[in-house]
Structure 1
Amino acid sequence: MTAAPQLSPAPPAPPSSEPLTAAPASAPRRLQLVVVRTPGPPLQEEGLPVRLLVPGRRTPRPTPPPGPRPRLDRPARPAGDAADFGPAWTRRAELPDPQAVGRRLVTLTLEAFAGRRPISQLQSLVSPALFQALSGRRRPRWCTEGTAPLLLSSVRVCEPVDGVAEISAVARRGGRAHAVAARLEGVDGRWRCTALQVG
């Protein structure tokens, strides 16, 4: 038979030079929230007022100003770059006198309607959509009938916004007056007619 193991007491711990004291109770710490700004786009465009959205109700969208929308300033690109295309809006300070352009436009239009010049000569002065409409439009009778000269008595200009000019003119033929209205927009450094009405 094997003898049962005997347990002996552990030796006493050596005396310590520092007295044993209870750990002081630490005071409760306060948490502080620190907002750290991270780089990124803003959630909403700065400077615009905040609008409240009511569920179930349509919010009217702001009406953009008339005329072509300005493009953001971008670095110059080569002329053959296919990524840069479309008409570019031009400021009024970079455009010629709209009254002279409007007078020339109305004169050429009336002469084209009267058959004195081809309608194709208006292509560089008007937008593509307007040129297509003028090409297939029925010409006013007072322009096509008679031999009396067409006289342009007055041309007035109103500029509602930057880069837009509204032309109003009075044409006379055979003792009768007819109103002509046109809208010019600054596109690619020159005025271009986008709307035309002949009374």
Structure 2
Amino acid sequence: MTAASPAGPQPAVAAPHLTLVPALHPPLRGPAAVLVDPTTPPPRPPHRPGPRPAADGGPARRPDLLGPAWSVRAGLPDPRAAGRLLLTTVLEALAGRRPMGQVQRLTAPGVHAALLAGRRPAWCSHGAGPLLLGPVSVCEPVDGVAEISAVARRAGRAHAVAARLEGNHGVWRCTALSIG
């Protein structure tokens, strides 16, 4: 026996469907599958200008000399070891046990500038207890990208740390960093 709805018949609602939308952030090189509302238009692709002409009016520069050279996973080292090195180096630099310049080779310019100009977490910069980093978890959403996370402990308290690593010229570079 089925019960009738007291409000009467329900209006027909369009069922969600799977639509391919263009990637919003590099190095996603293809469309990403996202479940979207059928009435919402897809986002516009980001503007990506081509190579600039040479200053003397000659032919355009080779595109491989412009910008970063994304690396595929097969040409990159283990992301877990690179992530542990990055997180340990950043936490020790924020604690004042290492010069911040040592972080520069592991991070993108924007991340390094933010670390230099940003506020240091109090739990990281104050206190004499050791900074302990737990096991590093790795997720590789696309080829050449690794997202890592770990739990850092100090003085009996746990804090989350996470980073996004992108393969660039055969090495991992941190392009986003979050310290909780």
TM superposition shift of 1:61: 8.9
Q: What does residue 178 of structure 1 align with?
A: 159
TM superposition shift of 1:63: 2.2
CA contact (8 A) 2:145 2:165 kept: yes
Count of residues in correspondence between the two structures: 130
TM superposition shift of 1:141: 0.1
TM superposition shift of 1:66: 4.5
**Please, which runs of 5 or more residues in structure 1 have no aligned partner?**
1-59, 71-81
Q: What does residue 12 of structure 1 align with?
A: none
* Aligned-partner Cα distance in 2 for 1:154–1:144: 22
More strand by share: 2
* Aligned-partner Cα distance in 2 for 1:111–1:192: 18
Query: Taking structure 1 as the reference length, what is the TM-score of the superposition?
Result: 0.61
* Aligned-partner Cα distance in 2 for 1:108–1:186: 19
RMSD of aligned residue pairs (Cα, Å): 2.0
1:69–1:157 Cα change, 3 Å: closer
* Aligned-partner Cα distance in 2 for 1:92–1:123: 22
Query: Taking structure 2 as the reference length, what is the TM-score of the superposition?
Result: 0.67
* Aligned-partner Cα distance in 1 for 2:25–2:142: 8
Structure 1 segment 1-199 matched on structure 2, within 5 A: 62-64=21-23, 66-68=25-27, 83=62, 84-199=65-180
* Aligned-partner Cα distance in 2 for 1:141–1:113: 10
More helix by share: 2
TM superposition shift of 1:65: 6.5
Provide the secondary structure at the position in 2 that maps to 1:147: coil
Q: What amino acid maps onto 1:113 in structure 2?
A: L
CA contact (8 A) 1:67 1:164 kept: no
Q: What does residue 41 of structure 2 align with?
A: none
CA contact (8 A) 1:67 1:163 kept: no
Higher radius of gyration, 1 or 2: 1
TM superposition outliers: structure 1 runs of 4+ over 3 Å:
none
